[in-house]
A and B are shown apart, each in its own frame.
Chain A
Amino acid sequence: MDVIVGGGIVGLSIAWRLARSGRPVTVVDPAPASGASYAAAGMLAPVSEVTYTETPLLRLGMASLRRWPSFAAELAEDAGLTGNAGLTRNSGPTGDAEPTGDAGSPHGGLGAIGDGARLGLDLRADGTLDVAFGADDLATLDELATYMEKLGLPVERLTGRECRRLEPMLAPSVRGGLLAPEDAWVDPRRVTAALLAALDRLHVPLVRARAAGLLRDRDGSVAGGSVAGDRVVGGRVVGVRLEPPPGGPEPPSEIRAERVVLAAGAWSGELAEVPVRPIKGQIMRLRSPQPLLSRCVRGTVHGSYVYLVPRGDGELVVGATQEELGFDTRVTAGGLYELLRDARELVPGVTELEVADVVAGLRPGTPDNVPIIGPSGTPGLDLATGHYRGGVLLAPLTAALMVGDLGGEEGELAALCSPGRFQEIS
């Protein structure tokens, strides 16, 4: 049996794909789907997120984006979802999707799926519009566009007026923009809810307890590691030791497993020697009766980044701060101020909206921003962590890597996120 430590979008996706392939699996998490996956905006935007030094991340993101349509369709089926809040394209809040028939896209965007899957996950593929204020921001965006074109990415440069024709709620001061037409987005809260439902229907046990340590077999004797001083070094991992939540139902104190998959996000470093650190992000959800935007809008306002992600139900997600404050999840005045200040510059109308939710999550960051996926070097322990800002985007690919279900061209992707690239992981 496999034990998945961590019930965020990554751990749940792995568990679901394993269970689907007939493998016995158990998920351990004191509060599933409540961490970074709960905070995340759910942008599936490998193109508009490109930065100069991160082409490996781009390749992983593009490969995972291609997997999203079938991942979502199969998930919706397994979770028993029906209804019309599924994949839409330029369809507005009512969810009346129109098939667009651009399935032949060379870059494998989500066009291929048409409206064949009405998924209930609010998966949308209407692209990301990256806009600039002022000449400085535009010059930076132009340089980035040149780089993207050199990489062969599908982007279109737009004038300020063209941007506002696409998104009339944008401020008149928008100078220009860059449209990544194949970028998509999804509602991560709906995805994790669907994953939990699918696991339930597949009778996968979900143990609501904290994994306090890894059980290791050294010279034939099994010892339970503690969180503080006993990280994995040597031996073979044979299970996890559990700490029940105070007052909760009593779960077993340990679970034996043939393989433990560590997918504990920002907390992964507490259980094994992996270079993962928490990077705090504050994010807010606004609600409007009428949708203000029809696609994802990102922007640079005098050098400061903000994004707005519209949902089919009128929700508008505004994010996100990036703070290196350890395991701090306080929502702060300054954090919200900066989000609103920049969001209002981009879309002045946001100040009229109801604040539905503010939350701070912890992204699992790695030294090179690329996730750590694969065998840890310690027998019995696999790693699927360190997804930083890309957990939602990379969940399908991560699950495929862990299940060993890769397409021909994807084989080399495993090497990009191999744990072996870090000396710290023994």
Chain B
Amino acid sequence: MDDLIIAGEKFSSRLIMGTGGAPSLEVLDQALAASGTELTTVAMRRLDPGARGSVLDVLRKRDIKVLPNTAGCFTAGEAVLTARLAREALGTNWVKLEVIADERTLLPDPIETFDAAERLVADGFVVLPYIGDDPALARRLEQAGCAAVMPLGAPIGSGLGIRNPHNIELIVEAAAVPVILDAGIGTASDAALAMELGCDAVLLATAVTRAQRPDLMAAAMKSAVVAGRLARQAGRIPRRRYAEASSPMTP
């Protein structure tokens, strides 16, 4: 499979993992290993980057790049502050920008997100914003200098899959930066669909960490992302209303 390139950095895995919801660090570690991920996002609120034996140590041991995120922030101000603290603590200028509108849906707030993205780009960050499946906002964020866009398939942790595949296709069609399907993945076929729609990568956490067997689900997601990518590149056949004999016309 071809490499994923974000802001000039190459990744051979197109599965980006989150760490939330794992029952223990050991279970998380096994799931990350099975997923083959090379980039994993970590919520910086309520995490001391200097503490021994934390989730960051698990990632370091597996040589997985840390993508700090601003989960739990409700305003652009909080998100910018969290991103700066993360940069200082972890020595990375990458940030998954997440500004949520309310606790019930955890849907991203487009206005606060755009505001924060502008400020973070100006401050030298590599910004990967989590957004709704809105093609217009995706385009604006790309124009503002974001390194990728991360539209949701469905609300965080819902496992509802990709509710509006058409919008995801529109975002993919217009984007010159990587499109990473973020949130809503419930099972392997959802991840495969995201890749078939043309997404460059998939980010997921709950689907794996809250599965009854997280390691198995992580392996399933790894295969699904590869399968979806290959299918996209292979080019699917057009849908037909009636059958078309596959034999014996040609050898």
Contact A367 B23 (CB under 8 A): no
- Asked, given contacts A52-B212, A302-B103, A367-B29, whether A324 binds B24 with beta carbons under 8 Å apart, the answer is no
Majority SS at the chain B contact face: loop
Mark interface residues in A38-61 (1 if CB within 8 Å of B CB, else 0). 000000000000011110000000
Closest approach, in angstroms, between the C-beta of B221 and any C-beta of chain A? 17
Beta-carbon nearest neighbor of A421 in chain B: B26
Beta-carbon nearest neighbor of A325 in chain B: B48
Contact A53 B24 (CB under 8 A): yes
Q: List 26 A-B contacts (CB under 8 A).
A: A51-B23, A52-B211, A53-B23, A53-B24, A53-B27, A53-B214, A54-B24, A147-B212, A269-B52, A302-B103, A303-B157, A323-B47, A324-B47, A325-B47, A326-B48, A326-B50, A326-B51, A365-B25, A367-B24, A367-B29, A368-B24, A368-B25, A368-B26, A368-B27, A369-B24, A369-B26
Mark interface residues in B81-114 (1 if CB within 8 Å of A CB, else 0). 0000000000000000000000110000000000
- Judged by a CB distance under 8 angstroms, whether A17 is at the interface is no
Per the bound structure, the CA–CA distance linking A269 and B52 in Å amounts to 9
Beta-carbon nearest neighbor of A144 in chain B: B212
Q: Which residues of A contact B (CB under 8 A)?
A: 51-54, 147, 269, 275-278, 302-303, 323-326, 328, 365, 367-369
- Judged by a CB distance under 8 angstroms, whether B233 is at the interface is no
Closest approach, in angstroms, between the C-beta of B90 and any C-beta of chain A? 14
Per the bound structure, the CA–CA distance linking A324 and B44 in Å amounts to 10
A-B contacts counted at CB < 8 A amount to: 55
Residue in B23, B46, B54 whose beta carbon sits within 8 Å of that of A277 in the complex: B54
Mark interface residues in B1-35 (1 if CB within 8 Å of A CB, else 0). 00000000000000000000001111101000000
Kindly list chain A residues whose C-beta atoms are within 8 Å of the C-beta of B64.
none
Closest approach, in angstroms, between the C-beta of B229 and any C-beta of chain A? 29
- Judged by a CB distance under 8 angstroms, whether B53 is at the interface is yes
Beta-carbon nearest neighbor of B54 in chain A: A324
Q: Other CB < 8 Å A-B pairs besides A275-B53, A325-B51, 13 of them?
A: A52-B23, A52-B213, A54-B23, A54-B24, A269-B53, A277-B51, A277-B53, A277-B54, A303-B157, A323-B46, A324-B48, A325-B46, A369-B26
Per the bound structure, the CA–CA distance linking A277 and B212 in Å amounts to 25
Mark interface residues in B146-175 (1 if CB within 8 Å of A CB, else 0). 000000000001000000000000000000
Kindly list chain A residues whose C-beta atoms are within 8 Å of the C-beta of B211.
52
Residue in B50, B53, B103, B212 whose beta carbon sits within 8 Å of that of A367 in the complex: B53
Closest approach, in angstroms, between the C-beta of A46 and any C-beta of chain B? 15
Contact B51 A324 (CB under 8 A): yes
- Asked, given contacts A52-B212, A302-B104, A303-B157, whether A328 binds B24 with beta carbons under 8 Å apart, the answer is no
Beta-carbon nearest neighbor of B156 in chain A: A303
Contact A276 B24 (CB under 8 A): no
Beta-carbon nearest neighbor of B158 in chain A: A136
Closest approach, in angstroms, between the C-beta of A57 and any C-beta of chain B? 9
Residue in A277, A303, A325, A369 whose beta carbon sits within 8 Å of that of B52 in the complex: A277
Kindly list chain A residues whose C-beta atoms are within 8 Å of the C-beta of B25.
365, 367-368
Residue in A147, A276, A326, A367 whose beta carbon sits within 8 Å of that of B26 in the complex: A367
Kindly list chain A residues whose C-beta atoms are within 8 Å of the C-beta of B27.
53, 368
Per the bound structure, the CA–CA distance linking A326 and B46 in Å amounts to 10
Closest approach, in angstroms, between the C-beta of B249 and any C-beta of chain A? 50
- Judged by a CB distance under 8 angstroms, whether B144 is at the interface is no
Mark interface residues in B45-64 (1 if CB within 8 Å of A CB, else 0). 01110111111000000000
Beta-carbon nearest neighbor of A369 in chain B: B24
Q: Which of B46, B103, B157, B211 has the most CB of A within 10 A?
A: B46
